[in-house]
């Protein structure tokens, strides 16, 4: 649910905050008061494009903030899955700032791209303006709406169909690839033989490259290693070196050890040290002898490494990848050398897969036709409730002209007749703008139980209607708002009277500058505003009485629909 909207320095708004409630939230105001700014501000916060001159004060940035509260864990998870943190309270705060027409957006403190902002917006809110009403004219959207209504079973059938569809497509691609002309097939086979021979001739062994790299590194560094070991050996064993000095120390201290028994312990330590240095010197000499290698070995290691690295550049980043590439090429060559048998095998496989695809498509079509009849009947009932008294509405499910597609083998189209005696025609050929808005409202009302989005915004829902039709639309909106939070702007008192929360948008002039203000009305103020909407002129007692009766009637109607 949308909790609040905050707007700063935007067009005619200096600073305003609106706190929304559950049910039906209605905005009204005189013509030119800036009512479109409300829906416009929400759209901007959700990723809409901004004009360069959008800021009221060009020296300061314009800001819009929306605060949502998500009650369902499913919604929270969807947003967390997009790497946006959502705390246990379920609050999602969208803040967008504009400077020079360019916008930056943050969701719960995380900077997001425009595409991610729009994706998250689709989880939180559903805005229906004139553009969205027009989307009903496009036949491709009718299939999406029907599948959405059909729910989980249709979704599962569509998933199964798509698996079969892609399986058939894959086999056809393989057949197409193998059915190239003979010369092309021979050229490809020759290339594969060369590549296979190149890899096989190398007789690669898993892990040998790592051993070779170690040996190569050792040989490259052996001179430095030998110099260091040689110097260590000479410091221990040469003239005036540590070994020679310790030997002298042993000989010098021997006399002392013979004269004083307490010196025997020190004598033993000197002997041990002399012995240890001798052992180290021998080990160093042995190590030095092992550092030697031939130039022939060095060249062999270098050549082998170069060959392996060349193969890595062509066939894979590692020896296992090169060997895997070898298997793929061997299999491909076998297919080319036995093209006729392989083609026959693919054709049999394709026939079986096409049969499964046909069955999956038929199951999906049956489910769609069943739901089309149900949705069509419910739409007709909803449209009659919106004062289409003689309406006929059906959802046609025909075989698609272009056969199997990603979405099945069906062509779905909304068909309508709004006058007695007229045959059903495509919705795009019949409905006017005002009728389209009512068709959209009927659709949203029918889909209310399956629609997972809590907040619905309707812009221009009252276009081209009045009188009894306006009353019917208001009753439908009241019913819809019992299951969703609904936000809309209206100029019709019948709709405004149904509001659970009524906001007045008013334009004032302060210090020579025009300002748009927004505030929620209390009951007596609502009566006054309904009176203004009814008469459009000076308030009289009769007008006020009519407005009060309209509000009381609306309250009774809402109780019946709740």
| Residues linked to residue 10 through DSSP beta bridges, in sequence order | 13, 55
Task: Return the HEC string of 146-182.
Answer: HHHHHCHHHHHHHHHHHHHHHHHHHHHHHHHHHCCCH
User: For helices 467-480 and 433-446, what crossing angle results, to 10°?
Assistant: 30
Domain ranges of the chain: 2-128+455-524, 156-362
What residue spans of 291-338 are helical by DSSP H? 295-315, 319-337
Residue 458 pairs in a beta bridge with 128, 488
**C-alpha pair distances (Å), 429 with each of 1, 410, 432:** 36, 21, 9
> pLDDT (tens digit, 9 = 90+) per residue, 258-290?
767 777 777 777 777 877 877 777 777 777 666
| Domain 2-128+455-524 CATH assignment equals 3.40.50.300 | yes
Identify which of 24, 7, 18, 19 has the alpha carbon closest to the alpha carbon of residue 455. 24
Q: Is the pLDDT of residue 240 over 60?
A: no
Q: What percent of the chain has pLDDT over 90?
A: 38
User: Going by C-beta distance under 8 Å and a sequence separation of 6 or more, which residues neighbour residue 118?
Assistant: 46, 47
CA distance linking residue 310 with residue 304, whole number of Å: 10
Residue with tokens 């006020």: 544
- What is the per-residue pLDDT for 482? 87
Please tell me the distance from the alpha carbon of residue 480 to that of residue 137, in angstroms, as a whole number: 23
Q: What is the DSSP string of 484-500?
A: SEEEEE-S-HHHHTT-S
pLDDT in tens, 494-517: 999 999 999 998 888 777 777 888
Kind and range of the H or E run holding 4: strand 2-10
In tens, the pLDDT along 158-197 reads: 999 999 999 999 999 888 877 666 677 788 889 999 999 9
CA distances in angstroms from 430 to 242, 391, 394, 417, 423, listed in the order given? 108, 12, 14, 8, 11
Q: Which pLDDT belongs to residue 67?
A: 94
Mean pLDDT of 451-470: 80
For position 191, what pLDDT does the model report? 92
Long-range pairs for 427-431: beta carbons < 8 A, 24 or more residues apart: 427/136, 427/137, 428/137, 428/138, 428/139, 431/136, 431/137
Q: Is the pLDDT of residue 292 over 90?
A: no
72-81, 111-120, 163-172, 457-466, range with the lowest pLDDT: 457-466
- Assigned token pair, 3: 């909790």
Note the pLDDT tens digit of each residue in 102-133: 888 999 999 999 889 988 888 888 877 655 55
More confident residue, 294 or 493: 493
Q: Report pTM.
A: 0.65
Mean pLDDT (the chain) is 85
């Amino acid at each position: 649910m949308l909790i609040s909207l905050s707007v700063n320095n935007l067009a005619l708004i200096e600073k305003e905050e609106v706190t929304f409630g559950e049910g039906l939230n209605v905005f009204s105001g005189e013509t030119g008061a800036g009512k479109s700014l409300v829906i416009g501000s929400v759209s901007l916060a959700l990723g809409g494009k901004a004009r360069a001159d959008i800021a009221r004060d060009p020296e300061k940035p314009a800001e819009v903030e929306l605060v949502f509260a998500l009650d369902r864990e499913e919604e929270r998870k969807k947003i967390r899955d997009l790497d946006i943190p959502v705390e246990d309270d379920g609050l999602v705060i969208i803040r967008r700032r504009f400077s020079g027409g360019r916008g930056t957006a943050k969701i719960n403190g995380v900077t997001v791209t425009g595409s991610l902002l729009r994706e998250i917006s689709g989880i939180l809110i559903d805005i229906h303006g004139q553009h969205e009403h027009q989307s009903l004219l496009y036949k491709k959207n009718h299939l999406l709406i029907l599948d959405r209504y059909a729910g989980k079973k249709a979704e599962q059938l569509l998933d199964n169909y798509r698996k079969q569809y892609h399986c058939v497509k894959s086999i056809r691609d393989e057949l197409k690839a193998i059915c190239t002309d003979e010369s092309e097939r021979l050229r490809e086979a020759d290339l594969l033989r060369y590549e296979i021979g190149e890899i096989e001739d190398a007789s690669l062994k898993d892990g040998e490259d790592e051993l070779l790299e170690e040996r190569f590194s050792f040989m490259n560094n052996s001179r430095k290693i030998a110099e260091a070991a040689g110097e260590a050996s000479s410091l221990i064993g040469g003239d005036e070196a540590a070994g020679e000095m310790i030997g002298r120390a042993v000989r010098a201290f021997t006399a002392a050890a013979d004269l004083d028994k307490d010196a025997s312990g020190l004598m033993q330590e000197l002997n041990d040290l002399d012995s240890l240095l001798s052992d180290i010197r021998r080990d160093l000499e042995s190590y030095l002898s092992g550092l030697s290698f031939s130039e022939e070995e060095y060249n062999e290691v270098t050549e082998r490494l170069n060959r392996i690295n060349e193969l890595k550049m062509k066939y894979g980043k590692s020896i296992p990848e090169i060997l895997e590439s070898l298997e793929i090429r061997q299999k491909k060559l076998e297919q080319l050398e036995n093209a006729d048998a392989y083609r026959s095998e693919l054709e049999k496989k394709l026939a079986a897969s096409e049969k499964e695809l046909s069955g999956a498509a038929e199951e999906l079509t049956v489910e769609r036709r069943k739901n089309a009849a149900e949705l069509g009947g419910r739409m007709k009932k909803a449209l009659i409730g919106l004062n289409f008294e003689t309406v006929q509405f059906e959802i046609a499910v025909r075989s698609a002209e272009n056969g199997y597609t990603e979405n099945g083998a069906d062509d779905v189209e909304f068909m309508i007749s709004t006058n007695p005696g007229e045959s059903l025609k495509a919705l795009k050929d019949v409905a006017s703008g005002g009728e389209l808005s009512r068709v959209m409202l009927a659709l949203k009302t029918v889909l209310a139980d399956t629609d997972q989005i809590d907040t619905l915004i309707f812009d221009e829902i009252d276009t081209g209607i009045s009188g009894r039709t306006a009353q019917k639309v208001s009753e439908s909106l009241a019913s819809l708002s019992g299951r969703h939070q609904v936000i809309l702007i209206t100029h019709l008192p019948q709709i405004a009277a149904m509001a659970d929360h009524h906001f007045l948008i008013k334009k004032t002039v302060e210090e020579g500058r025009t300002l748009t203000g927004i505030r929620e009305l209390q009951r007596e103020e609502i009566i006054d505003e309904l009176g203004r909407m009814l008469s459009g002129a000076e308030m009289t007692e009769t007008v006020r009485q009519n407005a009060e009766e309209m509000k009381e009637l609306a309250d009774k109607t809402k109780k019946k629909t709740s």
